[in-house]
Every structure is written in structure tokens, then in C-alpha cells.
Homo-oligomer: A and B are copies of this chain.
Amino acid sequence: MAFLAEHHSHPTAAEIFHALNRNGGAPRSSRATTYNNLRDLVQAGLVREVAVEGRAARFDARGMRHHHFICDRCGNVEDLQWFSVPRPGLKSLGNRVLRECELIFRGLCSRCASQRARRQPGKK
């Protein structure tokens, strides 16, 4: 939890596991414990899990509300400033019970966008 609170990079479970146990000191957390803790933190609502198609899940300490931008090319997850989102109409919602909504934008992150521009100077 402390690691997630300090690192806003949306790490995967494997990245968190390696970061916790990297270099010298005594091991801090096994792989199973890392996964167990992440599961529990998500269930408790303290951590958000972001599923990215084809890649490992990424995790995010729920600080200030925000939206996400996911890069088509590198898969990075970046934070976008929060703004409120309209709810679906009651008719369209039926008797579902709404808990939250998640807004994800997709495209090229700034790094991938500039790389792409350099390689294909002709393409608009």
C-alpha cells in the first residue's frame, strides 16, 4: 500500500513484487502475498485495478478521483484530471444497481505520438 501511495506509475503486480524485494535487505513480501494484498486492497476499495487488454493488470492507489488514458502502442496508463460524467438514464439502467463509472481515453501517449511523428513525417 505504501509503495502504491508513493508511486503513481500504475505498476503491475510483478513490478510491485520486484520493487519491494529489490536490492540487499531482507525480502519484504513473497509473490503470493503481493497478489493476496492487492486482492484485499481492491476489495476494500483502497486500490483500483485497471484491466488493459492483452497485458497484466495495473494498480493505482485511489487518491484524488481521476480518469485514465491508455496508450495504444506502449500500454502505459496515465492519469487525466477528473471531470464529472453524465449518468445513464433511469430507463436505460433498468433495475441494475450502479456503483461507479470509469472513463478511459485511448490513443497515443506523448512519447509514442512524437516517435510516430518522427518515423512517418509524410502521414498527416
Residues of chain A at the chain B interface (Cβ within 8 Å): 49-54, 57, 67, 69, 72, 78, 80-81, 83, 85-86, 88-89, 92-110, 113-114
Contacts and interface: CB of A to CB of B under 8 A. Distances in A.
A102 B104 contact: yes
A94 B110 contact: yes
Contact of A103 (B50, B85, B98): B85
A97 B108 contact: yes
Nearest to A110: B95
Contacts of A103: 85, 101-104
Contacts of A98: 105-107
Q: Which of A50, A86, A114 has the largest number of chain B CB atoms within 10 A?
A: A86
